[in-house]
Structure formats: C-alpha cells, structure tokens
Amino acid sequence: MDKLFTKVFLLTAFCFTICLVFYSKAQVKEIVDVLSVENNDIAQIYNHYPKGTPEYNACCFLLQNIAYKYSLVAPECVQPYLEVKDSVFNNAIKCLPAFKRDSLLAKRGNDLTPSIVIRDYQIINGDSIIKSIKASFEIWRQTPWANKYDETHFFEYVLPYRIMTEPLEYYWKWDCFRVYDHGIKYNNDIIRAARIINDRVGLIVPEDDESNFVNSYSFILKNKIQTCAERAVMATMAMRAGGIPAAFEFIPVWGNRSSGHYQCSVILPDDSIITFHYIIDVGTNVFLKNNKVPKVYRRMFSTQYDSLLIKNIDKEYIPPLFSNFDIMDVTDKYPIGSSELNVKVPETEKNNIVYLSVFSSSGWTPVAYTENNGENTKFYKIGTGNLKNNDKMEVGENVGDGILYLPITYDINRKIRAVNNPMIHGVSVTYAIIMDSTIRENVILTRKYPKTNRILSFAREMRGGIIEGANNEDFSDAVTLYYISYTPLSHLQKIHINSDKEYRYLRYRKQNENFSLSEIRFANKNGDYMSGELISCKEFRDNPNINLVIDGNPLTYFSETKVRNAWIGIKFERPTSIGTIEICPRTDDNDISIGDQYELFFWNKQQWQSLGVKIASDYNLSYNNVPKGALLWLRDITKGKEERPFTYENGLQIWW
C-alpha cells in the first residue's frame, strides 16, 4: 500500500472498529482532507452540496468509500486512458485522434495484461462526479418504485459512478439511458422494465470466455462480442441508468469448471433478487442447473469491513478476492444448495485465516475464508453441488455428487499450504479423499474432462444416422451399408463395411431434423483414405461450412436443425469398394487423442505428484502403480486446456 492509501485505510478501519456503520460528517471531512492532498477535485465534490441535503449525503457516501476504488488498465493503454478520462465536456475515448482511438479499440480486453492499478482518488474528475450524482437523483425521483426503497438501496445500487474495475467513463450514467432505457413505460413493474433493458443490452459472450478483465463503457458499447464480466457490467450500468437498483454479482470459480461466471441482479424492495445471466433471460436462474456453485458474491460500492481480515491485513497474505473489502456473500439468495462445512485444522497451523479452495486450471483457487479454530474450524454457506430443492445438477456423465474442496492457508511466500485432505461436500454427505499408498492399482483412462450433457446431446444426435452407398447420382439405388442404432463415442471411430460391392457415391444421412457432424472419412479395403468430391443435399450446397466435416479438425463441425433427410457425402471418379467409414460427432476433443502426450498426477498431501508421461496409441491410456483412492489429474501436454480432477471407482473415472 502507498502511504496515502494506508493513511485512509487506517482511518476508515478505525471507524469500523468502533461500530460506525456510516461515518459521521466530521470523519468524512477528515477523509476528504487526506485525499485532497492527491487530487483537489475531491474537495470540489464535497464542497459543492449544501450540508443536510440528500445530494450531500450521497456525496459523503461516495467519498467515504472512494479510496478503495480503482481501474485495472493494461500497460499499453495507460497513457491513452489518462488522456481520455472524461469530464462533463468530453466523452472519454471519443476525444482521441482517430488513429489512436481505433488502435486502442482494436485491442480485445482478454488480449491485454491488466496489471496497472489506477486509483479513483488520484484521477477523479469533480465536474463529472457532480453530473453523475445529479443524473442519479433525476432518474430515481422519476421512477414509480423509489418510495419502496430506503436510502441505502439508492446509495449502493443506483448512485455509484462505477460497477467493477472498468476504466472510468462517467458519462455512461446518462448515455446508457439514451441507449437502453428510452421509451420504456415502467407502470410500477420493475421486473418487466428490467427484462426489457436486459434484452436490449444484448451482447454476445464467446463459449470459451474465461476473462474477468473489463474494458470501458465505450469499448463495450462498440464491440458486441464481449467477456461474461463485461456483459454483466453493461447490464448493471443499464439498470442503474434507468433507476433500477442492480448489483454486479459473480461466482469466483465453478465447482465443476475452471472458469467463473458474472451476472447482473436486480435488487427488489425486500432485498430478494431477480438475476440476469444472458440475453432473453427472464431471471429464473435456469443457467445454474448445468454447473455446480461453491459461492456467490456481490460487488459492493461501500467498503465491506470484516474484523478477521482487518486484524490480519499486515500479518498474513490475503488473496485478491478478499483483500479489496468490496464483496458480500449472497450465496443464500440463490436457488442452490449450501450448508456448513467443518474442517479439522492441525495445531501446527498458526495462520489465523483458513481458506476453502476449488480446483481450476490455474491451481487451487480460494472461494471462501473463515477463522482458524483448530479442530472446530467452520465454513458457512458452502455450496453442495445441487439445487436448493435437492435436485441434482445436470452436469454430465459420471460426475460425482458434491463439490471438491481443499482447505488451505498461505505461507510467507504466498504459496498455498493444504491443512487437510481434499474434501467432497455434498447435500447429504461430507468426506475426505484419502488414498491408500500401500495399495496400487491399474487404471484405464478415456478422457481428461467430464463429458457434459451438451457433448452427450451432440453424440445422441447421430443416433439413427444412415450410411448409404449408390451408383446413381440421385441415390435412387441407395443401399444401406450401416445404421447407427447407438450413441457414438465422442471421438473419431471406425465403421467397418461388410460389403464387396463397389459404389461411386457414399453419404451420411439423417432422417430427422437434427443434422450434426464433426468429421467423416472414407477408406478402402487396404485402409487407405480415399478422396473425392464433397456432395450434399440441395439445402447445404451453397453453404461453405460443409467443408468443415473433412478438414481433419474434430473441434470444427457442421450443424443444421431445420432440414429433414439432410445428408453429406462423397463422389468418387469411379465405383470403389469400401473398407471403413470414420465418423465423429460434434465434440469437445477431450477424449484421449491418439498421438498426444499425457501426464497423470495424484494429489500427495501438499502437491500434485507425477505418475509418468505417456503418448497415446489408442483411445485410452493405461497406468499401473496408481495409489488406490487417490485424487487424480490427467494433463494433455500436447494441446487443450479443459481438465478436471477425478477419482477412479469401480473401473470408472468419477469427475470432480
């Protein structure tokens, strides 16, 4: 911490320790005096309003919490950002010369390194904050629901000039209303208004998005493909600009995936919420059925002091999720199962704070914390991997019940230190994963990541598919060579053709309306692949994407849902005998891939320990000498990033 920030931190922390929920005006003035040394606009904002007015109280709320607010900006964007931080008279990035503006906007947020912290009190613009406060009051007083909320709702969920760590552009408060909120007849129905605004926000989030970096309002507005976090920020901005109390909420890391999730929640007068995850979302949280939720937090503008963290801020390392004092646990507001989790921490562990972590591609990631009470250490509201009504999550094949956690602390080098065994916490049972190193077993592995319901559905879509051969171009003499009566595996697989007859035309045909195919190959009786002209039904002929089924990449595919008796095939120069046909359904390519290099690990008390590297020669890998009951992790060294830990039970990989 720099000296000025430390001074303000100690001042505000003292206010908390004497149980002041809201600062006295004298204490706000003291904070203003300290921060004004760095930026005189702080004093301008404070002195602008007559004392005792609602606007003055709002101003005090912002200033008493401003010391902890900041923007994360990529190093290459710092100077342009400082040049364009807007005021009433210039709208941020719009004032840049065209060549510099286009260069900056061309950079995607997740392609940058957001390593520079710029604190709000260093650069805050007085005119812009004053105008932002005015805009907030004007729209709030026009809404038919303002009298149903108390002042703290307005301060926390409508008034703030920022949402997360986005680069500052204050003008979003009035520009968002122009873009998203215009023409809506509220009619005292806040939920209806929120749904309309959410749909107007739109934005497309890539399926593989894992970034939590948030660009500026103008950047998000211009670029329709954004990160999940940016979508949630924009939705929250649009709600607040329309006088709808809203919060930016997030799941730090899923309990069954390596990424997290971000959403916008509308706060109702009774403090219940309606959550919007994506466009055309009606706030029913259907999205949560497909993922396990360890914890949900809300980003707050007011500083969220916790005596445990305050007492240990200079004694122990506190990970970033908890060290900014700006999140509130809202797990119990969601329709997910959660309960207490007891952990026995050994007497040798002297840290005062214990964390609960989940597995992610970047390592064990903390999602909760509590006080170290030795054998009686207890975590609260910990996700159990189910819905609140005890319905099981729809997460995939051979996925275990519950969520995998590892209780940890941090050493002086900020490295994690496990304080107990990995644990499974479920709706009806909690148990530790304890291997027996004296017993070794052989394991046969077929995947490095669980087969989700989505991937299973793609494979099922090929059930009922027909392989046909013909010598007439219109397939009037078609002969069925193979009927797919089962659900294929999610990798390239051979179909042996038991016929010596020669055909000039071959095709894969689907009778119903769901046509989906990743790869198809044809080989002769000698096993040599055969080439020819790609052909298809008339509905596909002008679609260049049909070539994706012969590009050799299992992650590309062709899919069409509205054509019956759709087909794709091949035309040879002359009739040819067929030995095998290889097909692959749409897939995530997480089955064992022939030729890829793999390494298997097991969790050995404090670290992942290797069981050796192997190159796959088939669609499965066999490892012997594996400790029985161990937590395992298979890594594909060659390619890919989706991987999950698993246990090996009754010949199956059980995923966590």
Residue pLDDT, tens place only, 252-287: 999 999 999 999 999 999 999 999 988 878 777 777
Average pLDDT over residues 573-585: 96
pLDDT at 106: 39
Q: What is the DSSP letter of 205?
A: -
CA distance linking residue 37 with residue 472, whole number of Å: 86
Contact yes or no for 325/361 (Cβ under 8 A): no
* Rounded-to-10 torsion of CA 54, 55, 59, 60: -30
Residue 19: pLDDT band (50, 70, 90) is very low
Residue 204: pLDDT band (50, 70, 90) is confident
pLDDT at 611 over 70: yes
Look at residue 516 and give its three-state secondary structure.
strand
Of 589, 585, 413, 578, the closest CA to residue 487 belongs to 585
pLDDT at 608 over 70: yes
pLDDT at 292 over 80: yes
pLDDT at 4: 66
Contact yes or no for 161/129 (Cβ under 8 A): yes
Higher pLDDT, 132 or 109: 132
User: 323: which 2 tokens?
Assistant: 């060290």
pLDDT at 98: 34
Average pLDDT over residues 478-489: 96
Q: What's CA 34's distance to the chain center, in Å? A: 38
Query: Per residue in 616-632, pLDDT tens?
Result: 999 999 999 999 999 99
Average pLDDT score, the chain: 89
Residue 81: pLDDT band (50, 70, 90) is very low
Residue 306: pLDDT band (50, 70, 90) is confident
CATH number of 307-432: 2.60.40
Average pLDDT over residues 28-36: 91
pLDDT at 310: 84
pLDDT at 44: 96
Name the CATH architecture for the domain at 69-284. Answer: Roll (3.10)
pLDDT at 377 over 50: yes
pLDDT at 313: 87
* Rounded-to-10 torsion of CA 597, 603, 609, 614: -20
CA distance linking residue 295 with residue 465, whole number of Å: 42
Residue 350 burial (10 A CB sphere; 0-12, 13-18, 19+): exposed
Query: Considering the entire predicted model, what is its pTM?
Result: 0.89
pLDDT at 297 over 90: yes
Q: How many helices (H) and strands (E) does the chain have?
A: 16, 32
Query: Per residue in 215-243, pLDDT tens?
Result: 899 989 988 778 899 999 999 999 999 99
Please enumerate in sequence order all residues whose Cβ is within 8 A of that of 650, keeping only pairs 6 or more positions apart, or say none: none
Give the angle subtended at the CA of 331 by the CAs of 345 and 307, to the nearest 5°: 55
pLDDT at 63 over 80: yes
Give the angle subtended at the CA of 383 by the CAs of 379 and 389, to the nearest 5°: 130
pLDDT at 110: 37
pLDDT at 397: 94
Please enumerate in sequence order all residues whose Cβ is within 8 A of that of 405, keeping only pairs 6 or more positions apart, or say none: 294, 341, 356, 357, 358, 382, 422, 423, 424, 425
Q: What's CA 634's distance to the chain center, in Å? A: 22
CA distance linking residue 603 with residue 424, whole number of Å: 14
Q: Where are the domains of the chain?
A: 69-284, 307-432, 440-452+590-655, 455-584
Q: Which residue type does 108 have?
A: R
Question: Could you write out the DSSP letters of every residue in 242-308?
Answer: TT--EEEEEESS-SSSSS-EEEEEEEPTTS-EEEE-STT--SS-GGGGGS--S--EEE-SS----HH
pLDDT at 512: 87
Please provide the size of the chain in residues.
656
pLDDT at 436: 96
pLDDT at 38: 87
Query: Per residue in 421-459, pLDDT tens?
Result: 999 999 989 999 999 999 999 999 999 999 999 999 999
Residue 116: pLDDT band (50, 70, 90) is confident
CA distance linking residue 238 with residue 199, whole number of Å: 11
pLDDT at 202: 85
**9 — phi, psi (to 5°)?**
-60, -50
Same fold for the domain at 307-432 and the one at 440-452+590-655?
yes
Q: What is the DSSP letter of 225?
A: B
Question: Could you write out the DSSP letters of every residue in 377-405?
Answer: EEEEEEEEEEETTSPBP---TTBPSSEEE
pLDDT at 89: 30
Other CB atoms within 10 A of residue 610 CB: 11
Of 207, 225, 260, the closest CA to residue 108 belongs to 225
Identify the residue whose tokens are 């069925």.
Answer: 480
Residue 75: pLDDT band (50, 70, 90) is low
Average pLDDT over residues 587-600: 97
Average pLDDT over residues 316-336: 94
pLDDT at 7 over 80: no
CA distances from 131 to 143, 459, 538 (A): 19, 56, 60
Average pLDDT over residues 140-169: 96
Name the CATH architecture for the domain at 440-452+590-655. Answer: Sandwich (2.60)
Q: What is the DSSP letter of 518?
A: S
Contact yes or no for 372/353 (Cβ under 8 A): yes
Please enumerate in sequence order all residues whose Cβ is within 8 A of that of 1, keeping only pairs 6 or more positions apart, or say none: 9
Average pLDDT over residues 350-378: 97
CA distance linking residue 234 with residue 218, whole number of Å: 10
